[in-house]
Structure 1
Amino acid sequence: MNYYVKPTLYVFLLCSFLPISCENGLQEESYSVFDETTLTKPENGLQGVRGVYAALRDNGGNGYYAGYLHQLTEYPSDIVTTKPDSRQGIQLDQLTYDASNSIINDVWASIFRLISRANESEYLIGKIDYTGNGESEEVKMQHLAEVRFLRALAYYDATSLWGDVPLNLKSSADFTEADENPPLVAQATVEEQIVIDLQYAQEHLPLSYPAELNGRATKAAAQGLLARLYMRRGEWQKAADKCGEIITAGEYDLRAPGEGGVVALFDNMNRSDNEFIFVMKSSSEPGSYGILSNSFGIQSVPWDYNRGWGNFPIHREFYAKFNPQDQRRQLLLGTYKALYGQIITLPKEFGGEGGSLPDTVQAQFTFGLKYPHVNNYNYAGYNNVSIIRYSDILLMRAEALNELNGPNDESISLIDDVRERSNVSAIQLSDFSSKETLRDFIFDERGLELFMEGRRRDDLIRWGRSATNGADPLLKFKEKVKPLLRDQNTYSDAVNYALYPYPIQEIQANTSLDISINQGRVRQ
């Protein structure tokens, strides 16, 4: 797969920053290369760990969790869309992508680069004598747990996007010629390894870190990712139990209304709120593992609002779903004064002001404000990117308990915790006559709570799988996405939109693969 180096073990350590093209407008890390004879101290193990964290952003301000992954998980959904001139993005949004789509290729490369770094770091850390160098064995196991958590996260993403993928757990020091062209491995087998890594991680990761070190994986991060995997597999009791462990531990909670609630949660300066269980840290502060920024802010807002690029417009129909009192609606642009003086507003039927204001222009889309873009032309966004959040844990447990038992008091209470924090009225158990009605409500609530956090595509597929007992995972995807396509004939029942095509670059480089593996994943 061309993302592994051999035959000498290498670990990549952040050492400097070099400017890259103004297309990204950000900074990109460069790395020094050392081998295992040089890296023999516990601090070198920590450097290896940080190198794996840095791979969450990969090749610049759009790489992996800094942007491209969200294009795969949000564009083909019923909430986020894109501009007609966004090239590769429009293919994802309108379901016209194929194996040559550059974003699909980039995310695949990012995922397997992280996996490669994790394998190298695991090997390196295993060779270091921590106790002989004044450090505890517990710290060594924590470093290994962080690396294995990140590898599990990468494989979770890979299997969510492609299903069967190559499985590699070796460092380059142990590579054989056969490893040059790895075959696809069944998704269930890869998931078994994800569980093994996450069980190790939850055993050896700490409950928390000092505030300045947020962004490093905790025990709850491993439990939360396990819960997410169990939800995907329909293992409801295991998912409910993992979420329950996080809730019972009491390390995390919702940002309360008295603290500014959900709007303040996404403030640009909110670095270490304990509603965020795991984030991609965007900061030059200590512990930031070299990830300085992301471009979500400038990508999310339009030019006439704050000179943004507006590459993540959101359907007007989504804004209309919010109760006007719902504070989460403040994380969307409904009405605003443009740079050139006009009032930009959504039509009344979508919850905006319509033509009631003077000098108004009706908006075709709304835009998200979860990733604040401050200062004109400021390409760098220093807000953290949420990967696992406490409200997601509450809603996952509510969903799992409903799948197990139908409507129940605890599910209602968990949902109300999330709603009432945002000034939305409580729901009652008597409002729901069946498992199906509460399930639909939960998935709608998840959309309102977690939009633009990379969850919607997975949610739509899981919703369809639950609604049909696994017979038609695309039922809800088709129901929600197809009506919003510019051309509904684009949707093809012959394509399995639950799986992306394997990248053409990988097929050409890996002799174990051929183009036939994409049959049914793209239009013919």
Structure 2
Amino acid sequence: MKNLYTITIILLVSSLYACSDLLEEEVFGELAPSNFFNNQEDAESILNAAYANSQGYRDLARDYLTFGEFNTDLALQREGAISTFIHPVENFTWDSTHPWLQGLWARYYSAIYRTNTILDYVPDIEMDEERKRQILAEARFLRAFNYFYLYDLFGPTPLIVSSLTSVDDRPERALAEEFQKFIEDELRDVSAILPATQAQYPRATKGAALGFLCKFYLNNRKWQEAAATAQEIIESNDYEIFMGNHRADLFALGNEGNKEFLFAVPFIAHSAIGNTYLSHAAPPGYRFQFPPKVNFAAQFKIYSDFIDTFEPDDQRLAAFLFEYTNQAGNTVVLGTDDARSFKYPEDPNGVGDVSSNDFPLLRYADILLSRAEALNELSGPNEESISLINEVRQAARVSPVSLADFTDQSDLRDFILAERGREFHTEALRRQDLIRHGRFIASALSRGMPASPHHVLYPIPQVEMDANPNLIQNDGY
């Protein structure tokens, strides 16, 4: 699948953040959608473009970590020009003019436009009917996927379900209930059509659709639905916890596409589409194993208080850099709040600032801990939740917990939140988790940030507010 994306992403990357209008139409050269969709090849081409557009830019900070982790109790960022964009988010001083929020809004709606174009025109193409059915299901999955992230960041936004919607329509924001029902229905419907596995990784599958549905239920505190959907995935036997020689091997380049990954962002070591994470995380003067590599001024760091939550024998600690050898051959010990996450190991074939490390968006470990959390919310501490937690901990070769370790629902809830931090750091899930647990604002206040209740949502970008008078801004902005 990486090869499938290569040309498509190169063509798209220069325009990912150029879209300035909510409903700005895509340009297809001299072709219009009405005369572009003539055969199966055309349908496959725009589907590939929708995948590429959906999964983002090469910079994990811009698309995922800044708005999902750098304003939490796990990570911080220092130094470099990128601080101009990250520090307002880290410090809870962001506003509606933040250019990366505009970029995300534009990218999501650009991908939605592409998926809507597929859904509007592909049904009329004469082609293999079973492949047509799969293409339409993948397009619906990608549309729901993009709305999933829009809802996470901004709350309910305009629900646009046709590429024929005019820029003059200026749609209003959907009601929360309408928006939630749309995502839930779409993911449920396509889960019955998508295959359990795909020949090309990482295309949408039945498990990916059910996985995002499970997480959407969970984030909206629909505990019964989340628990039941997680159980569907578990009972499918399509996924399993990675049990390699070492837990850190889960993210090794040779293990990409393993059965713990339900959905991921694929990267290639190419200047336009490579993963630049390590060039931001490596400390000053770090001597890379496979030079030459670019080391940016930016410093992606990990809070020491978070590191202290790990047990000493937890294999997941191997994902962190605590000391290193610099270019002069000297050993440098990193101090307080200065450890680095090297969860995505160095790529021997990386070029300059890029590598081919994929970025996981959904893992089987998340499904197990999601069911454990939902069951605890439904009935308090229970043996099944403990078993699910221990399945994840066993992979990290860390001591199991027992039901007797938890006095009540709140006690187990706190432990699950902490365990999710240890398991999913550097995967941009922490903000969601803290908000769901009612801890996002309190956690920020404890770090001295001027956080207020309205900060659980980001503001609709100002350029969109200016372009569409029917949009209502989120409270507090």
Does 2:116 correspond to 1:158?
A: no
- Write the letter of the residue equivalent to 2:253: N
1:102-139 Cα deviation digits (max 9, x unpaired): 12111111111111111112222222122xxxx2x222
Residue pairs, 1:12-31, within 5 angstroms: 14=8, 17=11
> Closer, same or farther in 2 for the Cα pair 1:372/1:505, shift >3 Å?
farther
Conservation of the 8 A alpha-carbon contact between 1:281 and 1:291:
no
Q: Using CA pairs under 8 Å that are at least 6 residues apart, name the structure with larger relative contact order, 1 or 2.
A: 2
| TM-score under structure 2 length normalisation | 0.88
Check the 8 A contact 1:198/1:222 in 2, yes or no. Answer: yes
Looking at structure 2, the residues matched to 479 and 275 of structure 1 have their Cα atoms a distance apart, in angstroms, of: 32
Aligned residue identity for 2:44? L
Q: How does 1:306-345 map to 2 (within 5 A)?
A: 306=288, 307-309=294-296, 310-345=298-333
Write out aligned runs for 1:441-452 (5 A): 441-452=415-426
CA spacing shift, 1:283–1:36, aligned 2, 3 Å: farther
Alpha-carbon distance between aligned partners in 2 of 1:15 and 1:427, rounded to the nearest angstrom: 44
What is the Cα deviation at residue 411 of structure 1? 0.5
Pair 1:520-2:476 in alignment: yes
Q: Is the counterpart of residue 417 in structure 1 residue 391 in structure 2?
A: yes
Q: Is the 8 A contact 2:269 2:355 kept in 1?
A: no
Q: CA deviation at 1:345?
A: 2.3
Q: CA deviation at 1:95?
A: 0.5
For structure 1, which segment, 336-345 or 226-235, has the greater mean C-alpha deviation from structure 2 after superposition? 336-345
1:345-389 CA distance string (max 9 Å, x none): 24xxxxxxxxxxxxxxx4641111122343686222211110110
- Please tell me whether the aligned partners of residues 79 and 299 of structure 2 are also in contact (alpha carbons under 8 angstroms): no
CA distance in 2, matches of 1:105, 1:343: 42
2:68 alignment counterpart: 73
Counterpart in the other structure of 2:165:
175
Give 1:71 shift.
1.2
Matched, 1:148 2:140: yes
Contact 2:10 2:273 (C-alpha < 8 Å) held by counterparts: no
Aligned residues: 449
What SS class does the counterpart of residue 36 from structure 1 fall into? helix
- 1:404 shift after superposition: 1.1
The equivalent residue for 1:295 is 276
Say whether residues 1:368 and 2:341 are aligned partners: yes
Q: Percent identity?
A: 31
Change (3 A) 1:296 1:127: farther
Q: Is the 8 A contact 1:54 1:291 kept in 2?
A: no
Q: Please tell me whether residue 511 in structure 1 is matched to residue 469 in structure 2.
A: yes
Q: Deviations over 1:249-305 (max 9, x none)?
A: 11111111xx234211111333221110001111389xxxx9842222322323322
- 1:399, 1:411 within 8 Å by CA — same for their partners in 2? yes
- Equivalent residue letter for 1:520: G
State the alpha-carbon separation in 2 of the partners of residues 193 and 418 from structure 1: 32
Q: How does 1:92-491 map to 2 (within 5 A)?
A: 92-130=89-127, 135=128, 137-171=129-163, 174-176=164-166, 178-179=168-169, 181-210=170-199, 213-256=200-243, 259-283=244-268, 292-305=273-286, 306=288, 307-309=294-296, 310-346=298-334, 362=335, 364-374=337-347, 378-464=352-438, 476-484=439-447, 488=448, 490-491=449-450
2:261 touches 2:364 (CA, 8 Å); kept in 1?
yes
Instruction: Call closer, same or farther: CA 1:303–1:33 in 2, change over 3 Å.
Output: farther
- What CA distance in whole angstroms lies between the structure 1 residues aligned with 2:320 and 2:47? 36
Seen in structure 2, the aligned counterparts of structure 1 residues 17 and 222 have a Cα distance that, compared at 3 Å, is closer
> 1:301 touches 1:373 (CA, 8 Å); kept in 2?
no
Q: Distance in 2 between matches of 1:123 and 1:325?
A: 54
Query: Which runs of 5 or more structure 2 residues have no equivalent in the other structure?
Result: 1-6, 16-26, 289-293
Matching residue of 1:48: 46
2:156 aligned counterpart, secondary structure? coil
Contact kept? 2:372, 2:389, Cα under 8 Å: yes
Q: Secondary structure at the match of 1:344?
A: strand
- Is the 1:335–1:343 Cα contact (8 Å) retained in structure 2? yes
AA at the equivalent of 2:280? Q
Equivalent AA in structure 2 for residue 207 of structure 1: A
Partner of 2:457: 499
Paired AA for residue 259 in structure 2: N
Between the aligned partners of 1:508 and 1:478, the Cα distance in structure 2 is 29
Q: Aligned equivalents of 2:240 and 2:272: distance in 1?
A: 26
Inter-CA distance 99–19: structure 2 relative to 1 (3 Å threshold): closer
Q: What is the CA–CA distance in structure 2 between the aligned matches of 1:17 and 1:504, rounded to whole Å?
A: 28
Equivalent in the alignment of 1:354: none
Q: Which residue of 1 aligns with 2:19?
A: none
Partner of 2:86: 89
**Unmatched segments (≥5 aa) in structure 1:** 1-12, 22-29, 347-361, 465-475
SS in 2 for 1:205: coil
Secondary structure, counterpart of 2:8 in structure 1 = strand
Moved more, 388-397 or 327-336: 327-336
| Counterparts of 1:14 and 1:505, CA distance in 2 | 28
